[in-house]
Amino acid sequence: MKRLGITVSGIVQGVGFRPFVYNLAHRYNLSGWVLNNSSGVEMEVEGYQAGLDGFVLALRQEVPPLAVIGEISLTSRPVMKDSQFVIRYSVSGAAKAALVSPDVAICPDCRQELGNGTDRRYQYPFINCTNCGPRYSIIQDVPYDRANTTMAGFIMCEACQQEYDKPTDRRFHAQPNACPVCGPAYHLLDRQGNVLCGDVVTETRRLVSEGKIVAVKGIGGYHLACDACNERAVQVLRQRKIREDKPFAVMAGSLETVRMLCELSPAEEQLLTGPARPIVLLNKKQTGQLASGVAPGNPQLGVMLPYAPVHWLLLTGQDIWVMTSGNTSDEPIAYDDADAFERLAAIADYFLVHNRPIANRADDSVVRVFQNESYMLRRSRGYVPSPLELHWNLPPVLAMGGELKNTFCLTRGKQAFLGPHIGDLENMATFAYYKQAINHFKQLFAVEPQLVAYDLHPEYLSTKYAQQLSLPTVGIQHHHAHVAAVMAEYGLNEPVIGVAFDGTGYGTDGNLWGGEFLVADLEGFSRLGHCQYIPLPGGAKAITEPWRMAAWMLQELYGKQTAELGIACTEQLPVNWQLAMQAAAKGLNSPFTSSVGRLFDTAAALIGLRQTIHYEGQAAIELELAAAGISGELLPYHLSSGTPAILDFTPAFAAMVQSLRHGASSGYLAACFHLTLADAAVSMVRYISQQTAIRKIVFSGGVFQNTTLLSQIFRMLEKDPFLLYVHRHVPANDGGLALGQAVIAGKKLGCC
């Protein structure tokens, strides 16, 4: 007889790990115990050598679906001669350092029960088990026990309690366990709050099929739902939501329906059907099935599959519904019932609500596939609050993130807890949510930060808030943080060449950077190359009005002859455009920028694609879409050597204007622009590598959401002796910024 002490770290709480251990112990005839402790699961097992060997092997190999094992450590213990194997209760407060699981899409077992007429949870929209269901969205405090969740108010009936108490049951200690007798329920209301009679699912389906807009309370907040094939319903939703042309995501009733709508690679299918169930950006097929207003003029479509039981009840196989977050533009997603009613009453015709409060809102996550692997665009529901595993031990740091697409980050040892997608902080409600979410994370993961990292931009609300926290602070340059975020994902700690392309980030010289080639490690960076500074005529206005960048370029190139060029762009310019340019020439409200995002704007406006935008990055996105499937030719540009080396695209824009005058198509020129930008980035990387002998190249910044550009750069660098790194688990946009800030700040405290 022998006895082993075993500890397992990772995501092992709230995922059915103790019953799994219990069953294994029985299979191998072992006695002993298992419990949740502060770092995961701890156990002692006793029996014959063969049984112990079998147990340890199975422990590693047969992990429950939602568990993610960090480390398993074994020590030998004195034999105790226990008579049986028991699950011990965790000591209260001991789970402080444990991990909270993200929300998980309904599992196959629960789906089967949901559709089984003889099951006591037949068509019950809150069905869940240890392998699935809400987690992060219902947790108020740790340890993850029912009393600390928004299920606390529902007392389990006898049948539910029996499942909850029985170690071999799939619902053993499933904290949200519930049934129609004892659990939450859905109600369907009209705008005035009157309860509608009849079966809520049947009625909701009827309303949607009649073209109505229904606000549906789900896991992490409210969705606005309507029939995605009903042109009128989609238009009404756009008008009421005040969203001109930003694409809506859809939910499809089955994988077969997704296949009819879109091209689907094995990697994309895996993402769609995985437990996180994000929105996956896919290439549309030409079917004409969807209303054109869902994603106007867009060859791509954001698609997700049902993830909450209620979605499975609402959508049958062929259904396609718009499922857009329940908010008006720029506000955070509604999750509180009273608030939802107030804010969504002008948008939704009906409300499908339930009485299980949402403790933490979680927007749908958005991913796309780049080179057969997941490439994150928005990390929230299904991923948050799983930590990102770091390669270094960090002291507790709070990183504030940026201003747009904000997320924050807290570190604890080798773990980085990246917060949920918060949104654009300029909005008051969003900013309040930001402050509240930071505090909740501090409490949930028991982190008391020693240092606060913020962006150097003095006007960011995240920066101002950092300074109010009465903690030591450190300012981190925006693009250094972008590059460090990639380094954190791969554990890189040596100097790399960081290519950081985005819309705007505050530079150390007070200019707006965004086309940067940095030689960086976690301690610092030198700016060895960047795009030529050009003025941003009108400042922030130029970001929403791309014509300003194009007008500046035309003025530079052609002066007074601009009006006679006879290209569409000049005809689309507002009458007083020259006044704006004169002001810019005098330096009035015209900061200098090296931003690649603004080069995209210049190109999109010059080509005549877009003069004014309605959402962030719209011109760049449309330029990428215009180039889809078209091969362009290389345009001239200029790389001037020196430190920093400068890339000047003025010759490329001149060539574009000439081609336009000879009738070149916008798609062709969009393709030329991509190719030229890729070629220029590659030339600069090679130039800097020659000087520094650095061969690790890192790509980050919002521009690299553009996988057309990224693919071209990768292809061009194929034969170079470089190692290329891109984001996988955090977004390349400012949603990943906080991770980079955190690791740089952690390094400054000297504890890597």
User: Segment 242-301, which members bind Zn ion (CB under 5 A)?
Assistant: none
**Contact, 171 vs 163, CB < 8 A?**
yes
**Is residue 131 a contact residue for Zn ion (CB under 5 A)?**
yes
Q: Which is nearer to Zn ion, 131 or 137 (CB)?
A: 131
Q: Which is nearer to Zn ion, 107 or 584 (CB)?
A: 107
Could you tell me where the DSSP H helices lie in 573-630? 577-585, 596-607, 618-627
**Per-residue 3-state assignment (H helix, E strand, C coil) for 160-202:** HHHHHHCCCCCCCCCCCCCCCCCCCCEEEEECCCCECCCCHHH
- Three-state SS at 671: helix
CA distances from 212 to 207, 228, 230, 234, 243 (A): 5, 11, 10, 10, 18
Residue with tokens 């519930």: 178
- Three-state SS at 576: coil
- Three-state SS at 28: coil
Q: Which is nearer to Fe ion, 100 or 619 (CB)?
A: 619
* Binding residue for Zn ion, selected from 1, 147, 181, 540, defined by CB under 5 A: 181
Question: How many C-beta atoms surround the C-beta of residue 718 within 10 A?
Answer: 8
Q: Which is nearer to Fe ion, 310 or 481 (CB)?
A: 481
**Is residue 160 a contact residue for Zn ion (CB under 5 A)?**
yes
The interface partner of residue 157, options being Fe ion, Zn ion, none and the CB cut-off 5 to 8 Å by kind, is: Zn ion
Task: At 260, list the tokens.
Answer: 């009819």
Question: How many C-beta atoms surround the C-beta of residue 474 within 10 A?
Answer: 16
The interface partner of residue 291, options being Zn ion, Fe ion, none and the CB cut-off 5 to 8 Å by kind, is: none
Long-range contacts of 335-341 (CB under 8 A, 24+ apart): 335/220, 335/221, 335/222, 335/360, 335/361, 337/217, 340/215, 340/217, 340/222, 341/193
Q: Considering only CA atoms, which of 412, 418, 420, 312 is closest in space to residue 359?
A: 420
The mark string for 513-542 relative to Fe ion (x by CB under 5 A, - otherwise) is: ------------------------------
- Looking at residue 254, the DSSP 8-state letter turns out to be S
**Is residue 157 a contact residue for Zn ion (CB under 5 A)?**
yes
Least separation, in Å, of the C-beta of 741 and Fe ion? 11
Least separation, in Å, of the C-beta of 543 and Zn ion? 46
Least separation, in Å, of the C-beta of 156 and Zn ion? 6
**Is residue 132 a contact residue for Zn ion (CB under 5 A)?**
yes
Least separation, in Å, of the C-beta of 267 and Fe ion? 26
Q: Which stretch binds Zn ion (CB under 5 A): 36-44, 154-162, 399-407, 687-695?
A: 154-162
* Binding residue for Zn ion, selected from 179, 390, 447, 710, defined by CB under 5 A: 179
User: Segment 530-549, which members bind Zn ion (CB under 5 A)?
Assistant: none
Least separation, in Å, of the C-beta of 107 and Zn ion? 3
Q: Considering only CA atoms, which of 191, 223, 433 is closest in space to residue 326?
A: 223
Least separation, in Å, of the C-beta of 113 and Zn ion? 8
Q: Which is nearer to Fe ion, 170 or 480 (CB)?
A: 480
**Is residue 502 a contact residue for Fe ion (CB under 5 A)?**
yes
The interface partner of residue 734, options being Zn ion, Fe ion, none and the CB cut-off 5 to 8 Å by kind, is: Fe ion
Q: Which stretch binds Zn ion (CB under 5 A): 6-14, 144-152, 156-164, 269-277?
A: 156-164
Residue nearest to Fe ion (CB): 502
Q: Which is nearer to Fe ion, 126 or 460 (CB)?
A: 460
- Looking at residue 271, the DSSP 8-state letter turns out to be H
Q: Considering only CA atoms, which of 471, 476, 436 is closest in space to residue 454?
A: 476
Least separation, in Å, of the C-beta of 460 and Fe ion? 11
The interface partner of residue 110, options being Zn ion, Fe ion, none and the CB cut-off 5 to 8 Å by kind, is: Zn ion
Q: Considering only CA atoms, which of 529, 459, 460 is closest in space to residue 501?
A: 529
The interface partner of residue 227, options being Fe ion, Zn ion, none and the CB cut-off 5 to 8 Å by kind, is: none
**Is residue 129 a contact residue for Zn ion (CB under 5 A)?**
yes
* Rg (the chain; Cα; Å): 27
Least separation, in Å, of the C-beta of 461 and Fe ion? 16
- Three-state SS at 376: strand
The interface partner of residue 14, options being Fe ion, Zn ion, none and the CB cut-off 5 to 8 Å by kind, is: none
Least separation, in Å, of the C-beta of 499 and Fe ion? 13
* Binding residue for Zn ion, selected from 11, 110, 308, 738, defined by CB under 5 A: 110
Q: Which is nearer to Fe ion, 670 or 732 (CB)?
A: 732
Q: Which is nearer to Zn ion, 18 or 598 (CB)?
A: 18
| Dist CA 484 CA 489 (whole Å) | 9
Residue with tokens 């009209």: 190
Q: Which is nearer to Fe ion, 124 or 533 (CB)?
A: 533
| Dist CA 664 CA 682 (whole Å) | 26
Task: At 182, list the tokens.
Answer: 């004892």
| Residues that contact Zn ion, how many (by CB under 5 A) | 10
| Dist CA 41 CA 62 (whole Å) | 16
Task: At 317, list the tokens.
Answer: 């196989």
The interface partner of residue 315, options being Fe ion, Zn ion, none and the CB cut-off 5 to 8 Å by kind, is: none
* Binding residue for Zn ion, selected from 63, 68, 97, 182, defined by CB under 5 A: 182
* Binding residue for Zn ion, selected from 25, 87, 107, 522, defined by CB under 5 A: 107
Q: Which is nearer to Zn ion, 179 or 647 (CB)?
A: 179
Cis peptide before 143 (omega within 30 of 0): yes
- Looking at residue 634, the DSSP 8-state letter turns out to be P
The interface partner of residue 237, options being Fe ion, Zn ion, none and the CB cut-off 5 to 8 Å by kind, is: none
| Dist CA 174 CA 16 (whole Å) | 8
Q: Which is nearer to Fe ion, 349 or 502 (CB)?
A: 502
**Is residue 703 a contact residue for Zn ion (CB under 5 A)?**
no
Q: Give one word for 104, left, alpha or beta, with left for phi > 0 and alpha for psi -120 to 50.
A: beta
| Dist CA 259 CA 236 (whole Å) | 27
Q: Which stretch binds Fe ion (CB under 5 A): 92-100, 504-512, 520-528, 674-682?
A: 504-512
Task: At 686, list the tokens.
Answer: 């090679």
Q: Which stretch binds Fe ion (CB under 5 A): 248-256, 327-335, 417-425, 503-511?
A: 503-511
* Binding residue for Fe ion, selected from 734, 738, 744, 747, defined by CB under 5 A: 734
Q: Which residues pair with 251 in a beta bridge?
A: 304, 321
Q: Which stretch binds Fe ion (CB under 5 A): 388-396, 405-413, 461-469, 495-503?
A: 495-503
- Three-state SS at 69: strand
Q: Considering only CA atoms, which of 61, 63, 66, 55 is closest in space to residue 31?
A: 55
Contact residues: Zn ion, CB under 5 A: 107, 110, 129, 131-132, 157, 160, 179, 181-182
Contact residues: Fe ion, CB under 5 A: 502, 505, 734
